[in-house]
C-alpha cells in the first residue's frame, strides 16, 4: 500500500471508529457487532504500525471510547480506567501467555472471569461509606452518577469490617437482568417508544437518566471485578476479590484461579454454552495475571494493561433460506434492505428477518434468491446475514439487486459520496418519511406529546388532518372526536398534551425537527452555541464546523435543511404556535479580557468542557475558530492536543496557553 493510500484509509477508519464509539457509548445504539468493530480497530492498528509517520495521539487506538455527557459533572479517576485488548482465537491467547512468561521468571497464575456485558463503573469508598460513583468516561475522567448508583441494591452503602482500607476504589459492571430487560421493552412498546437493542444498552442508558427514581424502578444489578487501594490486604487479585465478597459486594461465583493456560482454555470451553443459563448477558472471558507485583512489572500500553486480555466468544450462527428482500424507508429517507428468511432458531429465539445494512453489503455477499445463508446475531444484538453456502445455489436463481427508486413514492434514490446508505430525497412528500418525522417529533425525548402513537399518526395522516409536524398544533377537538377509537376524553387529553409541549426547551425542539444527523447531543451543542433559531439558520459552514463535534457532514445537513423554503415555513408556523426557538437566558457578556482575540481550542481540560470554554470565550469578547491560521491569537491547549495544530502553531509562531493561563487571563483562578 502506498503512503497516500495508507493515509486516506487511516483517516477513513478513524472517522468510522469514532462514529461507532459515539453510537455505542453515548447514544447506546450500536449499529455493528463487537466483532465487526474489533476488525476495524485491528486494521487501523496494523496500518499505524506499518506507517508510524501517521500515528496521532487523537487516534482511537490511543484512546478509550468515551461515554462522557454534558448532563453530569465529571470526576477525575484516581486510577485510570483503561480498556482491554481482546482476541477471538486460542492461538493469540497462547501468544499472550508466551509474552507474559518471557517477562516474568516466577510461576504465573491467571484469574478467569466471565466478561459481563454492561456499563463499567468505578466506586470510591471512604471510611466504609460509598463516596463517589463514576462511569468509565474517557478513561481519565468519567460522569458522576453517584445518586443513580445509590439506588442499586447489590452495591453496599456502608461497610463495617476489620482491616477495611480507609479509602478504596471498587470496579464492576452495571447490569440489567434479562427478565427486567424483557419487562422494560414491553413497557416501552406499549408507550410507543423504541425498544432497547440489548440489556447492555438498557443498563448504560438507565445509568445516565437524570431521575434516580426511574433508575431505581429498573432493578439494575452490579457484578464486581476489581479492587484498588494503597492499603490492599493481599498482593493478588483473586484474594482481594474474595475479600470484597466478604464485605458485601457481588462477585461472580464463576471466577476461577488457573495455574496454566490450559486451565484457562478449559474455563473458556465450559462457559461457552453454560453462560446462556445465567440471568445476565456475557460475551467472553477476561483473563488477568493474579499477582499484583507481576501486574506492576508487566505495566501498560497507551490504552490497556499488558497483564490482562479479553477472549470474545464468536456469535452463534444458523443456516436458513433467503425467501426475499424488502426495502424499508426510514424517517430520514434512508433505505434499509431487510432479508425475509425461513424461520430458524438462533440464540434462543426464532429469527424470520435479518438486516442487510446497505447495497454494499448485498454486493459483498453476492446474494441470490433462495440462497442458503448463514445468519448470526451480531454481538447478540441484531440478526444479520454473514455469508452464503454456495453449494446449495441454483444456477437459475436471480441475483438480488438494490432498488433504484423509492418503494413508497417512486422517487429516484440518492447516495451521497462518503455515505453507505441510499436515501429518498423526497422528504416532503414520501409518506413513511413524513409519518416517521411526526412520530419522532412527538417522542418522549423530543416534544413528549402523549396519545399520538404510530396507529393514531397513521390515521390522522390518512385523513389528511396532519401533513407535516406543524399541523399538530392546528388540531381541534371536533376533528378528533369524530375519528374511530376516539372519545371526547382521549381527544381532550391529546390536545392538553399538545398544549403542554410548547414549554419544551429549545434544544429539544431542535432535536424534534428531525434534521438529518442532528441527534440529542448535537442539538444540545447547537443550542448552546446558537442561542436563537435565526442564529442557526444564518450560520455558515465555517461557523458550524467551529463548534466541537460538528463536522462537515452535519454542517451540510443543517444548511440544506434551512435552505428549504418549506422547512422555514414549518418553523414559522411552529413559532406562531408558541414553541421555543431560543435560549431565553441568551449569551450575556461577562467581561472584555478577550476582545478582538481569535482563539482555537485543542485537547481535553479539567475544569470545563471544550463547549463550555467556547461559551466562556464568547462571554469575554473573544471569537472561536476551528483551524489555526495567521489570524489566530493563541491556542487554548489541553491534554492530548492535536499534533497537526501544535505543528501549525509552531510554524506560525502562535502561543499555546494552558488552562491555568487562560483562567488567569479572564480573572478566574
Which pLDDT tens digit goes with each residue over 225-265? 999 999 898 999 999 999 999 999 999 999 999 999 999 99
Whether 613 is in a domain gets the answer: yes
If asked whether residues 82 and 18 sit together in one domain, one would say no
Nearest to 547 by CA among 609, 605, 589: 609
Cβ atoms 147, 247 nearer than 8 A: no
- Residues 241, 152 within the same domain: yes
Instruction: Tell me how far the alpha carbon of residue 598 is from its chain's centroid.
Output: 33
Long-range contacts of the stretch 399-406 (C-beta < 8 A, 24+): 399/366, 399/367, 399/368, 399/369, 400/322, 400/325, 400/362, 400/367, 400/368, 400/369, 401/362, 402/337, 402/358, 402/359, 402/362, 402/363, 403/327, 403/335, 406/329, 406/335, 406/430
562 in a structural domain: no
Question: How far apart are the C-alpha atoms of 398 and 325, rounded to whole Å?
Answer: 12
**Range of lowest pLDDT (190-204, 275-289, 417-431, 471-485):** 190-204
Asked if 285 and 154 sit in the same domain, the reply is: yes
Statement to judge: residues 19 and 78 lie in one domain:
no
Instruction: With respect to residue 344, please indicate whether it lies within any of the assigned structural domains.
Output: no
- Residue 313: helix, strand or coil by DSSP? coil
End-to-end distance of the chain based on CA atoms, in angstroms? Answer: 51
Residue 200 has pLDDT above 90, yes or no: no
CA distance 258 to 248: 25
Instruction: Identify whether residues 136 and 24 lie together within a single domain.
Output: no
Coil, strand or helix: which one is 350? strand
Total-model pTM: 0.52
- Judge whether residue 548 has pLDDT over 90: no
CATH of residue 171's domain is 3.30.470.30
pLDDT in tens, 643-668: 778 888 888 899 999 998 899 889 88
123 three-state secondary structure: strand
Judge whether 392 lies within some domain.
Answer: no
Specify whether 163 is located in the same domain as 303.
yes
pLDDT number for residue 576: 95
Q: What is the rounded average pLDDT for all residues in the chain?
A: 86
Q: Starting at the edge strand that comes first in sequence, how are the strands of the sheet with 308-312 ordered?
A: 86-87, 308-312, 282-289, 110-116, 256-258
Domain match, 143 and 46 both = no
Is 115 annotated in the active site? Answer: yes
Do 135 and 46 share a structural domain?
no
Range of the domain at 17: 3-62
Q: Give CA 581 to chain center in angstroms.
A: 27
- Quick one: how far is CA 50 from the chain centroid? 29
Confidence check: pLDDT of 587 > 70:
no
19, 43: one domain:
yes
pLDDT surpassing 80 at residue 113? yes
For residue 647, what is the domain's CATH number? Answer: 3.40.50.10190
> How far, in Å, are 38, 215, 514 from residue 537 at the CA level?
39, 37, 15
Q: Are residues 624 and 661 in the same domain?
A: yes
**Could you read off the pLDDT of 550-584 as tens digits, one per residue?**
888 899 999 999 999 999 999 999 999 999 999 75
Asked if residues 368 and 376 have their Cβ atoms less than 8 Å apart, the reply is no
What is the rounded CA–CA span in Å between residue 21 and residue 26?
A: 8
Q: What is the pLDDT of residues 487-499, one digit of tens each?
A: 888 899 999 999 9
Number of folded domains in the chain?
Answer: 3
Confidence (pLDDT) at 63? 58
Cα(117)–Cα(313) distance, integer angstroms: 12
Compute the distance between CA of residue 290 and CA of residue 640 in angstroms, rounded to an integer: 32
CA distance 438 to 514: 9
The neighbouring-strand residues paired with 173 are 120, 223
CATH number at residue 21: 1.10.287.610
Residue 70 confidence (pLDDT) above 60: no
> Considering only CA atoms, which of 316, 310, 317, 314 is closest in space to residue 92?
310
Give me the pLDDT at residue 380, please.
46
Q: For residue 539, what pLDDT is reported?
A: 92
Distance CA 340, CA 420 (A): 22
* pLDDT exceeds cutoff 50 at 605: yes
| Listed residue (159, 154, 160, 151) closest to 130, CA to CA | 159
Give the contacts of 176 (CB within 8 A, at least 6 positions apart).
118, 184, 199, 200, 202, 203, 206, 218, 219, 220, 221
Q: Are residues 42 and 143 in the same domain?
A: no
Q: Which of 614, 612, 639 is nearest to 626 (CA)?
A: 614
Which residue has cell 465529571?
Answer: 74
SS3 232: coil
Q: Per the domain annotation, does 470 fall within a domain?
A: no
Residue 353 belongs to some domain of the structure: no
pLDDT of amino acid 48: 81
pLDDT band, residue 612 (cuts 50/70/90):
confident
529 within a domain of the structure (yes/no): no
- Is position 227 within any domain? yes
**Per-residue pLDDT reduced to its tens digit, 80-104:** 888 888 888 889 999 999 999 999 9
Across the range 128-150, mean pLDDT stands at: 90
Total residue count of the chain as it appears in this document: 669
Question: Could you tell me what percent of the chain has a pLDDT over 70?
Answer: 93
**Domain shared by 25 and 81, yes or no:** no
Q: Give me the catalytic one of 49, 63, 115, 589.
A: 115
Amino acid at each position: 500500500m502506498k503512503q497516500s493510500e495508507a493515509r486516506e484509509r487511516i483517516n477513513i477508519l478513524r472517522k468510522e471508529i469514532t462514529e461507532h464509539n459515539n453510537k455505542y457509548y453515548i447514544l447506546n445504539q450500536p449499529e455493528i457487532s463487537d466483532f465487526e468493530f474489533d476488525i476495524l480497530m485491528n486494521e487501523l492498528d496494523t496500518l499505524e504500525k506499518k506507517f508510524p509517520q501517521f500515528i496521532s495521539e487523537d487516534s482511537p487506538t490511543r484512546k478509550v471510547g468515551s461515554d462522557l455527557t454534558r448532563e453530569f459533572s465529571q470526576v477525575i479517576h484516581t486510577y485510570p480506567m483503561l480498556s482491554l485488548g481482546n482476541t477471538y482465537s486460542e492461538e493469540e491467547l497462547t501468544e499472550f501467555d508466551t509474552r507474559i512468561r518471557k517477562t516474568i521468571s516466577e510461576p504465573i497464575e491467571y484469574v478467569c472471569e466471565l466478561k459481563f456485558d454492561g456499563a463499567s463503573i468505578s466506586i470510591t469508598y471512604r471510611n466504609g461509606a460509598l463516596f463517589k460513583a463514576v462511569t468509565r468516561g474517557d478513561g481519565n475522567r468519567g460522569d458522576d452518577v453517584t445518586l443513580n448508583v445509590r439506588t442499586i441494591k447489590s452495591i453496599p452503602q456502608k461497610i463495617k469490617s476489620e482491616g477495611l482500607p480507609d479509602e478504596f476504589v471498587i470496579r464492576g459492571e452495571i447490569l440489567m437482568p434479562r427478565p427486567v430487560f424483557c419487562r422494560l421493552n414491553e413497557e416501552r412498546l406499549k408507550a410507543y417508544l423504541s425498544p432497547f437493542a440489548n440489556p447492555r444498552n438498557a443498563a448504560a442508558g438507565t445509568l445516565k437518566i437524570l431521575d434516580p427514581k426511574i433508575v431505581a424502578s429498573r432493578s439494575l444489578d452490579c457484578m464486581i471485578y476489581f479492587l484498588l487501594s494503597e492499603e490492599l490486604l493481599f498482593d493478588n487479585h483473586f484474594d482481594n476479590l474474595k475479600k470484597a465478597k466478604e464485605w458485601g459486594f457481588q462477585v461472580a461465583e464463576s471466577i476461577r484461579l488457573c495455574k496454566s493456560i490450559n486451565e484457562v482454555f478449559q474455563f473458556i470451553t465450559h462457559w461457552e454454552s453454560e453462560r446462556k443459563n445465567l440471568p445476565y448477558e456475557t460475551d467472553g472471558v477476561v483473563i488477568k495475571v493474579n499477582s499484583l507485583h507481576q501486574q506492576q512489572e508487566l505495566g501498560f500500553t497507551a490504552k490497556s494493561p499488558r497483564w490482562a486480555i479479553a477472549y470474545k466468544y464468536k456469535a452463534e450462527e444458523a443456516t436458513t433460506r433467503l425467501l426475499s428482500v424488502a426495502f424499508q424507508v426510514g424517517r430520514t429517507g434512508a433505505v434499509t434492505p431487510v432479508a425475509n428468511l425461513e424461520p430458524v432458531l438462533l440464540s434462543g429465539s426464532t429469527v424470520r428477518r435479518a438486516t442487510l445494512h446497505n447495497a454494499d453489503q448485498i454486493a459483498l455477499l453476492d446474494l441470490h434468491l433462495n440462497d442458503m445463508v448463514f445468519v448470526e446475531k451480531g454481538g447478540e444484538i441484531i440478526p444479520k446475514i454473514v455469508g452464503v453456502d454456495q453449494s446449495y445455489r441454483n444456477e437459475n436463481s436471480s441475483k438480488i439487486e438494490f432498488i433504484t427508486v423509492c418503494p413508497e413514492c417512486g422517487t429516484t434514490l440518492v447516495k451521497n459520496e462518503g455515505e453507505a446508505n441510499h436515501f429518498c430525497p423526497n422528504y416532503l412528500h414520501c409518506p413513511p418519511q413524513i409519518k416517521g418525522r411526526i412520530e419522532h417529533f412527538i417522542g418522549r425525548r423530543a416534544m413528549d406529546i402523549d396519545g399520538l402513537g404510530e396507529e393514531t399518526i397513521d390515521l390522522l395522516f390518512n385523513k389528511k388532518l396532519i401533513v407535516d409536524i406543524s399541523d399538530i398544533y392546528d388540531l381541534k377537538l371536533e376533528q378528533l372526536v369524530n375519528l374511530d377509537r376516539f372519545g371526547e376524553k382521549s381527544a381532550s387529553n391529546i390536545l392538553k398534551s399538545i398544549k403542554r409541549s410548547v414549554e419544551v426547551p429549545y434544544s429539544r425542539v431542535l432535536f424534534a425537527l428531525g434534521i438529518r444527523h442532528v441527534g440529542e447531543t448535537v442539538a444540545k451543542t447547537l443550542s448552546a452555541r446558537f442561542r436563537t433559531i435565526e442564529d442557526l439558520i444564518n450560520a455558515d459552514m465555517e461557523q458550524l464546523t467551529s463548534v466541537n463535534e460538528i463536522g462537515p457532514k452535519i454542517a451540510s445537513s443543517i444548511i440544506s435543511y434551512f435552505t428549504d423554503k418549506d422547512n422555514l415555513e414549518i418553523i414559522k408556523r411552529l413559532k406562531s404556535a408558541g414553541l421555543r426557538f431560543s435560549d431565553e437566558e441568551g449569551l450575556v457578556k461577562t467581561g472584555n479580557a478577550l476582545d478582538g482575540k481569535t482563539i482555537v481550542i485543542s485537547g481535553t481540560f479539567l475544569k470545563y468542557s471544550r463547549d463550555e470554554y467556547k461559551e466562556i470565550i464568547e462571554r469575554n469578547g473573544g471569537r472561536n475558530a476551528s483551524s489555526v491560521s495567521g489570524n489566530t491569537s493563541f491556542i487554548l491547549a489541553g491534554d492530548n492536543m492535536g499534533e497537526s495544530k501544535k505543528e501549525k502553531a509552531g510554524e506560525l509562531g502562535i502561543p499555546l496557553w494552558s488552562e491555568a493561563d487562560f483562567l488567569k487571563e479572564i480573572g478566574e483562578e
